[in-house]
């Protein structure tokens, strides 16, 4: 059958390795071919025999095996697949992938492959939340590596939190979606704003804010991962352009508004940018001399969120704003939802000490017409994933 695909499954060392047996079984049932590479650490958790029996193929585990190389070199192994899945993906293999290290068959195949790569991370919550792992994951995602999970729950080590590998059915469903080229948001268009805006005082100075763009960029990646055609309009940030996302770089609020209007029509709009409420009426054309106070004659910027929410027949199907608050977070955000005419507001506390600006985690409250949901503290990527999946639910239900 031409619909049958070939998966190269890389099993690295983690207690969750047993779940990949179920993934193999389900994919084989659907007629897909599964070929396995087992790392040395992976072999501490599952046996080559189990993998071979379920995949009905030889299991590859040794880079320097002459038989393996003559039968199936690592380059061919990585190329003769439609998708590479690393499950479980340990902190160590993610770090090696991010750094381009190729010191065993698994990492060599990963460096040599030219097909899509998916990882299903599995590790202790602290290892997952460690800045090194988060940075490695961000590098990989910006390069186009897809991620499934991890999810929250009890861990084998006795702790609770984010880091459990996604369950076999979620992994199988995601692999099937990728095989068929569809995702839950396939055929949808999404627009996301991210980062701060810079409003010029003169050719070298500007008014700005502390937004890092991490949350907005994560949302654009999450939409794209679910198959949406995604446009990201970004103010100046240090974030890499997400792979597969059309990224439009702007500096000012006026430029951001113009880029957003150009991207319409869209099914969903998420205004995650921290847009400057004000701009300098007449920025100086020459650098203002030291000792001379800059003229702070401010004019109000257009509210991009309110503009798009009120765009009549060009209004995005679902309009989602962010509300960064420092006091009475939920009531202020609920009022903002009403005042700006958006469907949902994602509210967060950005008071000094919360570490939200520039940090990797966020504690948010989702305010919809139905009420308020208080989400637990989550990595910004996880907030993005939940939000994208909620958008997919809402668009599925929309008439
Ligand atoms: O009013 P406030 O700035 O707190 O509202 C925040 C929300 O409005 C965010 O979603 C932000 O992206 C959006 N916004 C906008 N244009 C502005 C100001 C804020 O889109 N000029």
Q: Is residue 45 part of a domain?
A: yes
172 and 228 co-located in one domain: no
Is the pLDDT score of 2 beyond 70? no
pLDDT of residue 209: 93
State mean pLDDT over 342-363: 82
Q: Is residue 345 part of a domain?
A: yes
Is the pLDDT score of 393 beyond 50? yes
User: Which of 52-56, 187-191, 383-387 shows the lowest mean pLDDT across its residues?
Assistant: 383-387
Distance in angstroms (rounded) separating the CA atoms of residues 3 and 31: 8
Domain count, the chain: 2
224 and 329 co-located in one domain: yes
Q: Is residue 134 part of a domain?
A: yes
Q: What percent of the chain has pLDDT over 70?
A: 96
Whole-prediction pTM: 0.71
210 and 273 co-located in one domain: yes
pLDDT of residue 96: 98
Q: Is residue 1 part of a domain?
A: no
| CA angle, residues 123, 128, 130, in degrees to nearest 5 | 135
**Distance in Å, CA 79 to ligand 1 centroid:** 46
pLDDT of residue 71: 53
Mean pLDDT comparison of 71-80, 220-229, 296-305, highest-scoring range:
296-305
* CATH code at position 370: 3.40.50.10300
Is the pLDDT score of 162 beyond 90? no
Residue where one domain finishes, among candidates 131, 149, 180:
180
210 and 140 co-located in one domain: no
Supply 224's token pair.
């794209």
142 and 212 co-located in one domain: no
- Sheet containing 344-349, strands listed edge to edge, beginning at the edge strand earlier in sequence: 246-249, 229-234, 189-194, 268-271, 318-325, 344-349, 364-368, 371-374
Is the pLDDT score of 138 beyond 70? yes
Q: Exposure pattern of 322-338 as b/e (b: 16+ CB <10 Å)?
A: bbbbeeebbeebbebbe
Q: Is residue 373 part of a domain?
A: yes
218 and 294 co-located in one domain: yes
150 and 280 co-located in one domain: no
Residue where one domain finishes, among candidates 180, 205, 235:
180
Domain span holding position 139: 6-180
> 195 CB under 6 A from ligand 1?
no
Supply 77's token pair.
């192994």
> 174 CB under 6 A from ligand 1?
no
Residue of higher predicted confidence among 356 and 291: 291
Q: What percent of the chain has pLDDT over 90?
A: 69
206 and 323 co-located in one domain: yes
pLDDT of residue 72: 60
Distance in angstroms (rounded) separating the CA atoms of residues 138 and 386: 17
Residue of higher predicted confidence among 363 and 200: 200
pLDDT of residue 21: 97
Is the pLDDT score of 184 beyond 50? yes
Supply 278's token pair.
């004000």
pLDDT grade for 1, boundaries at 50, 70 and 90: very low
Residue of higher predicted confidence among 392 and 361: 392
Residue of higher predicted confidence among 158 and 300: 300
Supply 179's token pair.
């095989």
Residue 36 annotated among the catalytic residues of the structure: no
Strands 117-121, 83-89: pairing kind = parallel
State mean pLDDT over 284-312: 93
> 308 CB under 6 A from ligand 1?
no
pLDDT grade for 329, boundaries at 50, 70 and 90: very high
**Distance in Å, CA 233 to ligand 1 centroid:** 14
pLDDT grade for 41, boundaries at 50, 70 and 90: very high
Q: Is residue 148 part of a domain?
A: yes
Q: Is residue 205 part of a domain?
A: yes
173 and 232 co-located in one domain: no
Contacts of 352 (CB under 8 A, 6+ apart): none
172 and 193 co-located in one domain: no
Pocket of ligand 1, candidates 219, 299, 302, 322: which has the most ligand atoms within 8 Å of its Cβ, to mutate?
322
Residue where one domain finishes, among candidates 140, 157, 180:
180
pLDDT tens for each residue of 149-158:
898 877 777 7
pLDDT of residue 294: 80
Is the pLDDT score of 3 beyond 80? no
Choose, from 20, 36, 115, 157, the residue flagged as catalytic: 157
136 and 25 co-located in one domain: yes
43 and 96 co-located in one domain: yes
Strands 246-249, 364-368: pairing kind = unpaired
Contacts of 67 (CB under 8 A, 6+ apart): none
Mean of all residue pLDDT scores within the chain: 91
pLDDT of residue 66: 47
Is the pLDDT score of 99 beyond 70? yes
Q: Is residue 59 part of a domain?
A: yes
* CATH code at position 13: 3.40.50.1950
Distance in angstroms (rounded) separating the CA atoms of residues 10 and 149: 16
State mean pLDDT over 253-281: 98
- Is 39 within 8 Å of 45 (Cβ atoms)? no
> 323 CB under 6 A from ligand 1?
yes
> 253 CB under 6 A from ligand 1?
yes
pLDDT grade for 65, boundaries at 50, 70 and 90: low
Residue of higher predicted confidence among 160 and 92: 92
Q: Give the Cβ contact number of residue 201 at 10 Å.
A: 18
């Amino acid at each position: 059958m031409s619909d049958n695909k070939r998966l190269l499954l890389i099993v690295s060392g983690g207690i969750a390795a047993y779940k990949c047996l179920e993934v193999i079984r389900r994919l084989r049932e659907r007629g897909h071919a599964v070929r396995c590479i087992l790392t040395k650490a992976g072999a501490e958790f599952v046996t080559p025999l189990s993998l071979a029996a379920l995949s009905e193929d030889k299991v590859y585990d040794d880079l320097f095996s002459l038989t393996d190389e003559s039968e199936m070199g690592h380059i061919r192994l990585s190329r003769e697949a439609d998708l590479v899945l690393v499950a479980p993906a340990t902190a160590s293999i993610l770090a090696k992938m991010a750094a381009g290290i190729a010191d065993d068959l698994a990492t060599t195949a990963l460096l040599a492959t030219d097909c899509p790569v998916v990882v299903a991370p599995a590790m202790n919550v602290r290892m997952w939340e460690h800045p090194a792992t988060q940075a490695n994951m961000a590098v990989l995602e910006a390069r186009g590596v897809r991620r499934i999970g991890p999810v929250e729950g009890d861990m084998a080590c006795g702790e609770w939190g984010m880091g459990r590998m996604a369950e076999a059915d979620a992994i199988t469903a995601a692999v099937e979606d990728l095989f068929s080229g569809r995702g839950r948001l396939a055929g949808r268009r999404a627009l996301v704003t991210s980062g701060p805006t810079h409003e010029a005082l003169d050719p070298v100075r500007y008014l700005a804010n502390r937004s890092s763009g991490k949350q907005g960029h994560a949302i654009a990646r999450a939409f794209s991962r679910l198959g949406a055609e995604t446009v990201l309009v970004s103010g100046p940030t240090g974030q890499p352009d997400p792979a597969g996302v059309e990224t439009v770089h702007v500096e000012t609020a006026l430029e951001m508004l113009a880029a957003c209007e150009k991207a319409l029509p869209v099914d969903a709009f998420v205004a995650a940018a921290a847009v400057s409420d004000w701009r300098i009426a007449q920025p100086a054309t020459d650098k203002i001399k030291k000792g001379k106070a800059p003229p702070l004659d401010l004019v109000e910027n257009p509210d991009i969120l309110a503009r798009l929410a009120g765009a009549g027949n060009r209004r995005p199907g679902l309009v989602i704003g962010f509300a960064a608050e420092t006091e009475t977070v939920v009531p202020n955000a609920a009022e903002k939802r009403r005042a700006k005419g958006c469907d949902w507001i994602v509210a967060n506390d950005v008071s000094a000490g919360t570490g939200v600006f520039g940090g990797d985690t966020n504690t948010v409250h989702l305010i919809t017409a139905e009420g308020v949901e208080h989400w637990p503290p989550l990595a910004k990527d996880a907030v993005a994933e939940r939000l994208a999946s909620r958008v997919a639910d809402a668009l599925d239900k929309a008439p």
